[in-house]
Amino acid sequence: MVAYGNAKRDVNRILALMLMLRALHLAAAGVLFLAHGTFFFRGLYLRRAGVSPGPLDRAARTLAQILLLLAPLAGLALYLRSGRGAFLPHPALGLAPLAAVPLVSAGRILLHQRTGAPWLLPALNLALIAAALATGLAQARG
């Protein structure tokens, strides 16, 4: 009877861990989308107006950068823990913004345009984040 109680406790811990990972992933993804959208659209305005970013703009950028790591890593941990088979579309789209950073940076270096099109990476990441969020919500709905 003791072995059964320990097994049941272990299952409950795993279920609680999965629930916490899912909640962390969902919250981080939602806040990432809002923070990155704020950072992107406010950045376009500031560039057009010729104004330097303020403290709130820097905070939105920092939050977006932190969550750009946290949301996909929480999702990857959830994916690996749950043992789901299909890696497409949601997990691949969730990790794509992380892959876009070095790819866009390398492309700029190769094209000798290090300062050209500063909106390119944030725009690409915002589109990838929106696609990952949409596919994740669709997947969660069933």
Instruction: Per-residue pLDDT tens, the chain, 142 aa: give them.
Output: 455 667 788 888 888 888 999 999 999 999 999 999 988 999 899 989 999 999 988 988 899 899 999 999 999 888 888 776 677 888 899 999 999 989 988 888 888 777 777 888 899 999 999 999 999 999 888 7
Over its C-alpha atoms, the chain yields an Rg (Å, rounded) of 19
Q: Residue 72 belongs to what H/E stretch?
A: helix 55-82
* Integer Cα distance of 10 and 13 in angstroms: 5
Q: Going by C-beta distance under 8 Å and a sequence separation of 6 or more, which residues neighbour residue 52?
A: 46
Rounded Cα gap, residues 102 and 121, in angstroms? 10
Domain boundaries, the chain: 2-141
**Tokens at 109, concatenated:** 């270096």
